[in-house]
Amino acid sequence: MTSPHRSTDGRSRGGRPARISRQEILAAARHLIESQGVAHLTMRQLAAAIGTTPMAIYYHVKNKDELLLLLLDDYASSVQAPVLPDDPRERLFITACFMHDVLAECPWIVEILTAEDLLAASALWIVENILDSAIRCGLTPEQAVHAYRSIWYYAAGEILVRAASVSRRAEMDKPVYRDELFTQLDAERLPRLAALTDRWTDLTSRDTFRSGLDALVTGLLVMHGAGAAAQLSAETSP
Amino acid sequence: MTSPHRSTDGRSRGGRPARISRQEILAAARHLIESQGVAHLTMRQLAAAIGTTPMAIYYHVKNKDELLLLLLDDYASSVQAPVLPDDPRERLFITACFMHDVLAECPWIVEILTAEDLLAASALWIVENILDSAIRCGLTPEQAVHAYRSIWYYAAGEILVRAASVSRRAEMDKPVYRDELFTQLDAERLPRLAALTDRWTDLTSRDTFRSGLDALVTGLLVMHGAGAAAQLSAETSP
DNA sequence: ACCTGAACACCGTTCAAGT
DNA sequence: ACCTGAACACCGTTCAAGT
């Protein structure tokens, strides 16, 4: 960090007393996002919500990107770790689920994930847990990093795709396009899709995150020769 | 589709001759994206590139969202299908790779994927192929849809995360933050991460998409009782 | 039928100045 | 030290008018 901007919330010594603080800005930003949606988080609207000018915010925060990063970190540190099982395969699965669920609960995070780094400092314990579990399952450290990355791709993809489909459902003209697509299906060239036309919406609206994650974890362990630890968990359900 | 906007490129019969066409707009948009990056695709800059006013575009295209959708469809239809193997497990893997690679080649698609539907009409054969392969591997149609969705999450996540990390590398202040994170690691609480500090950048910059996909496919087939078809493919590499 | 011009309601950010 | 005001360089989109 550079400039006058304090990296921590150091007490100001001397000078004019601050009217707004970083914490106040973050709290207001979070409230704004949760009540109005992430699209309404603009420097101008945030300033209005606090009752100050847009430029006052720039004294406490470098720019909008840093604001988003701080927001992510703030959220991550407010989350409290769950009790985790000892069995490594189970712990791997549960931690990955937790990582996903925590992010999925605040869809505004999606905007940040694509723009910023995936990991806030206060969320590193999640990565640590996944790596440790994987290594205890018999993977080498390199394989564990690879496994973590695959899981992250899967989880991030699920969140992003679901967020997109939710926002699509909010508008009213998209279903039209999708229906159009499916009614014009060429049953000769696309027989499988044609046979599934009626059930597609139903099938794709189900939550299959856990089941797919289970498959991924199983495959990762099997493929890396940790077959002993790869036995199917109880969550298995098509 | 509504309004005066022609859904196909129907010839205008009578009236003033068109100065610009939908095709011309799409071609210009694609060129703009490829040369300047997707951030530069604005109605105004597009108009300038064509040599017309922003509002002229609105006669041919409903709004920016529709423009993006048309762009996606245009790209999908320009892609030609690869020769696919007969073995269903192999075909599943290859098709999924193809889907991923095609999208990964034009990172601007990322913006559209999160905003729009995942599937353009001209790309449905990919879904068809994945479903068909999965069913031939022994999955039920429902399980096949589920498998397709898991694969899609994984592929979309990989693309999005990679696109984000590329754009991060383009700027110069992000590595600082990431390095900061890793040097301040508490080796007591995060031993696995601490042990990997030096190799993290190297390990996470490797392309492990295929290996992870292989694991996912293996897991999906094993979990759904199609173990016979789940034998590891040759692509396996940590 | 196809396009233009002006305008509306926004953005993020910089810069010089005030207290 | 902390904040303000005015300004810059943008957005997407609407609306009434021109040819």
The string of pLDDT tens digits covering residues A50-94 is 999 999 999 999 999 999 989 988 888 888 889 999 988 999 999
**CA–C1' gap, A22 and C19, in angstroms:** 21
Determine the pLDDT at residue B185. 80
pLDDT tens for each residue of B34-50: 999 888 999 999 999 99
Read off the pLDDT band of A16 (50, 70, 90). low
Would you call B154 and A149 a contact, using CB atoms and an 8 Å cutoff? Answer: no
> Residue B191 pLDDT > 60, yes or no?
yes
Determine the pLDDT at residue A98. 92
Would you call B150 and A200 a contact, using CB atoms and an 8 Å cutoff? Answer: no
**CA–C1' gap, B23 and C8, in angstroms:** 30
Read off the pLDDT band of B114 (50, 70, 90). low
Read off the pLDDT band of B237 (50, 70, 90). very low
> Residue B79 pLDDT > 60, yes or no?
yes
Task: Report if CB B34 to strand D is under 7 Å.
Answer: no
Region A153-158: mean pLDDT is: 92
pLDDT top residue among A111 and A237: A111
d(C-alpha B215, C-alpha A221), whole Å? 8
Determine the pLDDT at residue B169. 67
Task: Report if CB B48 to strand C is under 7 Å.
Answer: no
Determine the pLDDT at residue A169. 67
**CA–C1' gap, A177 and D18, in angstroms:** 35
Which residue places its CA closest to the C1' of nucleotide D15?
B55
> Residue B147 pLDDT > 90, yes or no?
yes
- Could you give the residue range(s) of every CATH 1.10.357 domain in chain B? 82-171+207-236
Nucleotide nearest to A20 (CA to C1'): D2
- In the predicted model, what is the mean pLDDT of chain A? 83
Read off the pLDDT band of B222 (50, 70, 90). very high
Complete DSSP assignment for B51-115? TS-HHHHHHHSS-HHHHHHHHHHHHHHHS-PPP--SSHHHHHHHHHHHHHHHHHT-TTHHHHHHH
**CA–C1' gap, B39 and C3, in angstroms:** 26
Nearest of A207, A185, A205 to residue A195 by alpha carbon = A185
Question: Which of A80-84, A179-183, B6-10, B141-145 holds the top average pLDDT?
Answer: B141-145
Region A92-99: mean pLDDT is: 92
Determine the pLDDT at residue A235. 44
Region B122-149: mean pLDDT is: 92
User: Which regions of chain B does DSSP assign to beta strands (E)?
Assistant: none
> Residue B30 pLDDT > 70, yes or no?
yes
Read off the pLDDT band of A106 (50, 70, 90). confident
> Residue A196 pLDDT > 90, yes or no?
yes
Would you call A208 and B174 a contact, using CB atoms and an 8 Å cutoff? Answer: no
> Residue B172 pLDDT > 80, yes or no?
no
Give the single-character DSSP code of B16.
S
Region B54-61: mean pLDDT is: 97
**CA–C1' gap, B156 and C14, in angstroms:** 38
Read off the pLDDT band of B10 (50, 70, 90). very low
d(C-alpha B69, C-alpha A19), whole Å? 46
Q: Which of A70, A133, A165, A216 to mutate to test the interface with B (most CBs of B within 10 A)?
A: A216
CATH code linked to domain A1-61: 1.10.10
d(C-alpha A162, C-alpha A157), whole Å? 8
d(C-alpha B40, C-alpha A140), whole Å? 44
Pairs from A179-185 (Cβ < 8 Å, separation ≥ 24): A181/B119, A181/B121, A181/B124, A184/B121, A185/B124
**Out of A165-169, B93-97, B147-151, B209-213, least confident range:** A165-169
Determine the pLDDT at residue B168. 67
Q: What angle do CA B70, B75, B76 make, to 5 degrees?
A: 100
Partner residue facing A192 (CB), from B135, B177, B224: B135
The b/e string for A200-223 (b: 16+ C-beta within 10 A; e otherwise) is eeebbeeebbbbbbbbbbbbbbbb
Residue A229 near residue A93, CB atoms below 8 Å: no
Q: How far is B16 from chain A (nearest CA, A)?
A: 30
Read off the pLDDT band of B175 (50, 70, 90). low
- In the predicted model, what is the mean pLDDT of chain B? 83
Chain B residue with Cα closest to A201? B145
Which residue places its CA closest to the C1' of nucleotide C15?
A55
d(C-alpha B175, C-alpha B177), whole Å? 5
Read off the pLDDT band of B160 (50, 70, 90). confident
Q: Which of B153, B188, B210 to mutate to test the interface with A (most CBs of A within 10 A)?
A: B153
Region B187-191: mean pLDDT is: 90
Q: How far is B170 from chain A (nearest CA, A)?
A: 12
Q: Which of B8, B142, B167, B223 to mutate to test the interface with A (most CBs of A within 10 A)?
A: B223
Partner residue facing A192 (CB), from B131, B199, B208: B131
Region B110-134: mean pLDDT is: 76
Region B55-78: mean pLDDT is: 92
Percent of chain B with pLDDT over 90: 50
**A160 contacts in chain B (CB < 8 Å):** 113-114, 156-157, 160
Nucleotide nearest to A43 (CA to C1'): C12
User: Which CATH architecture describes the domain B82-171+207-236?
Assistant: Orthogonal Bundle (1.10)
Partner residue facing B143 (CB), from A119, A184, A238: A238
